[in-house]
Amino acid sequence: MVEPMHHPVNKHFLRHRIILTIGLLLLIVTGGTAGYWLIEGWTPLDALYMTTITLTTVGFGELYPLSAAGRAFTIALIVGGLGIFGFISSTLVNSLASGELRERFISGRRKRMLEKLHHHDIVCGFGRMGQHVCRELADQNKQFVIIDTNPDAVACAEEQGFLAVLGDATTEETLVQAGIHRARSLFAVINSDASNVFTVLTARALEPDLVIVARVDQNETISKLKRAGANEVIAPYMLGGRRMVHYVEQPGVVDFLDVVMRSSELELRLVEMELTADSPLVGKSLREANLRSQVGVNVLSVHAPGEPPTTTIRLDEPLQIGTHLIILGTPAQIDAMSAFASHIPANRSGHIEPHIH
- How far is residue 160 CA from its own chain's centroid? 14
Question: 274: phi > 0 → left, psi -120 to 50 → alpha, else beta; which?
Answer: beta
Backbone angles phi, psi at 165, to 5 degrees: -120, 130
Of the candidate CATH numbers 3.40.630.30, 3.30.565.10, 3.40.50.720, 3.30.1360.30, the domain formed by 118-239 belongs to: 3.40.50.720
Distance in angstroms (rounded) separating the CA atoms of residues 253 and 85: 74
Rounded CA separation 4/164 (Å): 10
pLDDT tens over the chain, length 357 residues: 333 334 444 556 566 777 877 888 888 889 889 988 999 888 989 889 888 888 877 767 777 888 888 889 888 888 888 888 887 777 777 766 555 555 665 666 767 778 888 999 999 999 999 999 999 999 889 999 999 999 999 999 999 989 999 999 999 999 999 999 999 999 999 999 999 999 999 999 999 999 999 999 998 999 999 999 999 999 988 888 888 888 788 888 777 777 666 655 556 777 888 888 888 888 888 888 888 888 888 888 888 887 877 777 888 888 888 888 888 888 888 888 887 765 444 343 333 343 333
Show me where the domains of the chain are located.
8-103, 118-239, 267-342
Given this model, what pLDDT does residue 207 score? 95
Distance between CA atoms of 203 and 197, rounded to whole angstroms?
10
CATH H-level, domain 267-342: superfamily:
Regulator of K+ conductance, C-terminal domain (3.30.70.1450)
Chain centroid offset of residue 44 CA:
53
Q: Do the strands 324-329 and 298-303 form a parallel or antiparallel pair, or are they unpaired?
A: antiparallel
* pLDDT for residue 261: 64
Distance CA 292, CA 287 (A): 10
Q: What is the 3-state secondary structure (H, E, C) of the chain?
A: CCCCCCCHHHHHHHHHHHHHHHHHHHHHHHHHHHHHHHHHCCCHHHHHHHHHHHHHCCCCCCCCCCCHHHHHHHHHHHHHHHHHHHHHHHHHHHHHHHCHHHHHHHHHHHHHHHHHCCCCEEEECCCHHHHHHHHHHHHCCCCEEEEECCHHHHHHHHHCCCEEEECCCCCHHHHHHCCHHHCCEEEECCCCHHHHHHHHHHHHHHCCCCEEEEECCCHHHHHHHHHHCCCEEECHHHHHHHHHHHHHHCHHHHHHHHHHHHCCCCCCEEEEEECCCCCCCCCCCHHHHCHHHHCCCEEEEEECCCCCCECCCCCCCCCCCCCEEEEEECHHHHHHHHHHHHCCCECCCCCECCCCC
Report yes or no: 132 and 207 within 8 Å, Cβ to Cβ.
Answer: no
| Cβ neighbours around 349 below 10 Å, total | 11
The pLDDT score that the predictor gives to residue 226 is 94
**C-alpha 43 chain-centroid distance:** 57
pLDDT at residue number 222: 93
Give residue-wise pLDDT tens across range 182-201. Answer: 999 999 999 999 999 999 99
* Per-residue pLDDT tens digits for 260-278: 666 555 567 778 888 888 8
Q: What is the pTM of this model?
A: 0.58
Distance CA 351, CA 32 (A): 70
Class for domain 8-103, per CATH? mainly alpha
Look at residue 204 in the predicted model and tell me its pLDDT.
96
Beta carbons of 325 and 272 less than 8 angstroms apart: yes
